[in-house]
Structure 1
Amino acid sequence: MTHRNVRIGVQIAPQHAPYEQIRDTAAQLEEMGVDILFNWDHFFPLSGERDGLHFESWTMLAALAEQTRRVEIGALVNCNSYRNAHLQADMARTIDHISAHGTGTGRFIFGTGSGWFERDYDEYGYEFGTVGSRLDALARDLPVIEERWGKLNPAPTRDIPILIGGGGEKKTLRIVAQHADIWHSFSDAPTLERKLGILAEHGAAVGRDTGEIEVSVEIGRKRLEDADELHALGARLFTVAVTGPNHNLERVADWLAWRDAKNATG
């Protein structure tokens, strides 16, 4: 397995807070030392007041790319259904360049998934389909996105990392084995251990060493002891979520201290 340091990502839910507050929280998180800033790709809140304040993902990511200097940025995750595959590639490449100021190397992570929030589809006029049809579309579109990156002028500043979210064992993990640099799930330790075994089987089938894939998990309400178990299984990216109206960053500070202790001991 490839050696990696532990990283902490923070998902700032783009809901229930004015944009100015989200912008200021992003600046504070970068100053605190988080590794990645995420949002999510939805059109309505996922919790709290269903018609509360909410902002669009990709335009916000472009603004964060200009605002920040060090952190990587991305959606956790993009919904593949909402945009043409070629357009997704071009948007990703553009944000990659926006985020490259000062270093010449972009900081954009292309986090993506098949979509699931039916209200988004219904109110914005997308065909919801089925879980299977949406996963099939993701499998179809990822090669198109990768091919488009090879045609754009200017090209991306780096090989844009692909993060795929989801834990479906028949289709999703096969797509992960084929395309992902990072795999994100909400697994506890026993679930992660089982799914990593299945991911390795898919990797063998498609000729990919899945040890190359960075394993990402949602911390949620997990304890440090839970994270230790996930770390022992190979997880190296741990994500924390914050949401409006008040962005409480105390837990983020605790997890950053845990990260630093893990990395100090190798």
Structure 2
Amino acid sequence: MYLAPIVYAAVSSLYAVRRSGLGLTAPTRVFDPLANYARAFQDSAFTGSLGRVALFGLVQVPVMLGLALGLALLIDAKSARGKGFFRLSSFVPYAVPGVSAALIWSFMYSTQSSPVNRLLGPLGFTVPFFDEDLVLWSVANIVTWSWAGYNMIIIYAALQSIPAEVLEAARMDGASALRIAWSVKIPAVRGALVLTAVFSVIGSAQLFNEPAVLQPVSAGAIPSTYTPIMSAQSAVAAGNYPYAAAQSVVLALLVGAVSFTFFKLTSRGGSA
């Protein structure tokens, strides 16, 4: 179930679709192992989508994990009250399906119905959520809203595994709550942070639902090739399955390389 689609996509990417004449005859598939990959790296729309999700991941993932860590530390604090309520309320956005969340936020972003801009209007300015320079961060806001609580739960569970005597010893040594969080709790949940970071990087590379839902109302700010998966989907819609497979293979290899490098760097830092 896992290997068959991967193998099929890899094999399909080695074939190229050829059309002859005026396109009146059916296209043929010929074995040309490098054609689709050469085209992918020469395709400015596809390479632009790769750069876009790379920028997205470099900014959104640290912000989201920082927010998740902060929420987990606040809920785990000894003086915190209503822990169950805040855990649940932070996790609720993740329970909302991604497409539904994007639809909700499309209403929030819409130039006609945005309650945010209605509140800001009397102050003399509005937020152009679908401006070409801002739309990526509008998408990032939706992803952060949806996934921060999920990552918070993972980090919070790791915090619960810290032995109580370790925390009590730190308090007896005169460490403040901030010092305990920085020197004891955060190092103790390092594994959970690495895990959530890798999952988030992979999720960033698979960005699709949010921009696809926002595309019809984005006034052209989100093209059909906005992310790598959207670009591959466009190739499928055009009937060029081998080229879509090649784009998917390139994306998978890049994500695998980034994840492997990240694991190596973090494990080296842990052993040091």
- Relative to the length of structure 2, the TM-score reads 0.27
Larger Rg belongs to = 2
| Higher share in strand | 1
**TM-score after normalising by structure 1:** 0.27
Normalized per residue, which structure has more helix? 2
